Amino acid sequence: MSIENSINNIIRNIVRAYELIRKIIGKNVSDNILIMILKEIEHIAIHELCHGALYTIYPEINIIENKNHVLSECINEIFSRLLETYTSSKIGAYTHSFDEHLHELKHYTLLSKLNIRFK
């Protein structure tokens, strides 16, 4: 299956899910909520593409992951978020602020005790 077909199938499933949910609740979801959801879907897709990019250019990350999961997680998340922020800003897509990234990264094991602040 081609990338284009995969993307089309995913988009079709998102639309089908929306239509089913709308039917179940008997109402349309407001445009503001839909826009917020679609931006988050875009954001997640870009973020996951960045994880894929890391594994593509540095497949040895699997070796690190097997030996030190926490270190691998840190490398993977920090790299992905930096590339995500750069990529999203270049194409005009939504991205988290550095404060939002920091808040999320603090939920990861090794980064949970960091006391980094952005001003």
| pLDDT score, position 57 | 95
| pLDDT score, position 69 | 78
In a domain, 113, yes or no: no
46 CB-near residues (< 8 Å, 6+ apart): 84, 87, 88, 93, 95
| pLDDT score, position 52 | 95
Segments of the chain with pLDDT less than 70 = 103, 108-119
| pLDDT score, position 109 | 58
Q: What is the DSSP string of 16-42?
A: HHHHHHHHHHTSPPPHHHHHHHHHHHH
Q: Directed axis angle between helix 69-91 and helix 98-105, to 10°? A: 160
In a domain, 111, yes or no: no
Q: Global pTM?
A: 0.77
| pLDDT score, position 78 | 86
85 CB-near residues (< 8 Å, 6+ apart): 95, 96, 98, 101
| Number of domains present in the structure of the chain | 1
In a domain, 61, yes or no: yes
In a domain, 116, yes or no: no
User: How does pLDDT run across 9-22, given as a tens digit for each residue?
Assistant: 999 999 999 999 99
What is the domain range of residue 80?
Answer: 3-105
| pLDDT score, position 74 | 80
| pLDDT score, position 72 | 81
| pLDDT score, position 38 | 92
